[in-house]
Amino acid sequence: MKTLNTILTTVAFSMLALGCGYAKDRTAGSGDDIRSLLVLNFLGQTVSPSSTAVVGMYCGSTASLTGAAGGYSTLRTLCRSACGTTTAHVCTAHELLMTVQFASLPAAAHWYSSYVATPLPADDCQNWTTSGGASNGPIIAATTGIPSAGTCANSRPFACCDFMTITQ
């Protein structure tokens, strides 16, 4: 399992992508590792890394469905059942990338929620409501985690994720 520093680095850079800022701690004795990274939240307040992190990771799969799966609400219900928790949901690309780094993916290709612009647009089968042949949805390859797109008319399971606390 990767160290908490690796997880916190990923979380810090994810926060940057969401518009948060960061600054290096320049106090006496501070090093160049993640422990000296201070994250500034949306209000400009300093948030220091701690010994735990909450990340979304793969927890189970739905039955095989086409892109006309009934929308996000239906899929959340199916994921709650698949994972046995009330906070399970369809995985995002980020959550699957975290899973690839810290655990293993299922043995079959799965749908996940994201938008892929090229080479073949994949728009989550119009919020998982269509199986039209002209629409595509994002899929993640079995075991490797390589993303691609597939026609919404094909059946495959949905990857479900839940929030996990990782403690060092």
Angle at 146 between CA 141 and CA 151, to 5 degrees: 55
- Cβ count near 39 (within 10 Å): 19
The pLDDT score that the predictor gives to residue 119 is 65
Tell me how long the chain is: 168
Q: The tokens of 127 are what?
A: 């919020």
The pLDDT score that the predictor gives to residue 110 is 94
Q: In this structure, what is the dihedral angle of CA atoms 31, 35, 38, 42, given to the nearest 10 degrees?
A: 160
The pLDDT score that the predictor gives to residue 44 is 54
Q: Where are the domains of the chain?
A: 4-50, 56-163
Q: Which residue matches tokens 């501070």?
A: 30
Rounded to whole angstroms, how far apart are CA atoms 81 and 66? 18
Residue 115's Cβ-count burial label (10 Å; 0-12, 13-18, 19+) is exposed
The pLDDT score that the predictor gives to residue 43 is 54
Distance of CA 9 to the CA centre of its chain: 16
The pLDDT score that the predictor gives to residue 86 is 96
Regions in the chain scoring below 70 on pLDDT: 1-51, 116-119, 168
Which residues contact residue 23 at a Cβ distance below 8 angstroms, ignoring those fewer than 6 apart?
38, 40, 46
Side chain identity at 25, as an amino acid letter? D
Q: Which residue matches tokens 């075991």?
A: 143
Closest CA to 50 of 98, 7, 17, 14: 7
